[in-house]
Structure 1
Amino acid sequence: MDAFDAYPQDPERAFDRLTPAGKEHAFYTLVFEDNWPRQGDYDMNDLVVQFRQKEVLNAQGQVKELYIEGQIVARGAELHNAFAMEFTGVKAEALGDAAIALQGQSATLSAEKNQQYLVLNLLPDASKMAPGTPDCRFFNTQSHCPIQKAADFQFKLAFKNPQLPENMRLNPFIYRKDQRGHEVHLPNYPPTSLADVSLFGQGDDGSNPAQGRYCVTKNNLPWGLYIPDSWDHPEEGKQI
């Protein structure tokens, strides 16, 4: 028995790793602009999601389970967008169990079909989870509207076989609910197998797959950002 083992009675689990590192109650932020391949109003508030995650590792440092606690902080999109996660490097067959609770309503998750790597659709429609009101069509992006409570969700995943962290890159993205191939990723994160690659190079997009360049404008501006902390997102129509 290891005195520093977080699970001294469990031979398959040894310790936890938190992100943000060492901050149990802190969040990081993901933001997306959904007008890709056009720059649009560039207020970076079409979807604002805060996360914190816990990986459960075995004694060899392999990931056994993943827990994510998150919330939709803001939605400034007219479009109906879904939020998904690719586990780049992990095959769908590695998935054991996965489930998500959306504001207290639980659902089982399964791997998206016809993908090279494991993809899970976490939030099927951000507009339904973070709705507007008769007077305010968006969610926490308009200065004249009251602030609404963030829409919470919890996600958990267990692998059939533990995964090496270096072979499991989290690749979060949004896509249009009525147009699955229209994916928006963080800068230079690759698309999934279901992305419509004919959109590359259209409008303001400067993607070049041969150079590993994705979802950035010709002037290197992104359509998505990872911010390693909480973030005060811009109001509607105000460019960052």
Structure 2
Amino acid sequence: MVAGIASFDIRHKCPMSRSTQRCGRPMEDHLQAIVTLVSLVNPMVCAMMFAGLTAGRTGAQRVSDATRAILTIAVVLIIAALAGARILDIFGIPLDVFSVAGGIVLSFIGFTMLSGSRSDNAPDPATQSPDPSAAGATLAPMILFAASPGTITGVITIAAATRSRTGIPLPALTGICVVLIITWVLLMLVARRSKKPKRPGLAHDMATRYMGLIVIAMGIKFALTGYKAFMAG
């Protein structure tokens, strides 16, 4: 999944010693950024996670949850594109170390989903009043999956490799907008499919555990990739 980042490897593809040098043509930069971010964010997996995490909520609540989640992801990725490298430099954190730490956190979230603790403790929707803060907490695994360390690292790499003379990473921002629009549309389709709230059943529990396993695998992959790059450097 992270192989797409290789197209924007600033150490091999785009030396930054010349501020006016660009890698490839603008259209190619935009297309590569879109393809890379689609593979990292994985809108289909996000939609599957959203369906499982919001089981038991009404269609209107799901629409609200989806919009808030997309806005949260957008803020994180846009900040990463505009100032991610500078923020890490301020704290002296290499991208490789950031990927290792983030991968560990992502794996921990996956273990939580795999254990089924969220599903076991889920309240009955029929007796529960709407709570926006609880909805945000429920969607945390999906948000952290979409805006994962691998995604943030990819955004920072793309931004550094395709920054224009004005200093604005247009390909990275374009890729973020396109992939989030795709993800939002898929979440809307899932949200509007719900007719009435019901307590999550066996299918929801199995789907949540399966997605937890995927999140664990992604976290381990990010951590190992960062570790190998750090040791090689």
- Report the TM-score, using the length of structure 1 for normalisation: 0.25
TM-score of the pair, normalised by structure 2: 0.26
Judging by fraction of residues, say which structure has more helix.
2
More strand by share: 1
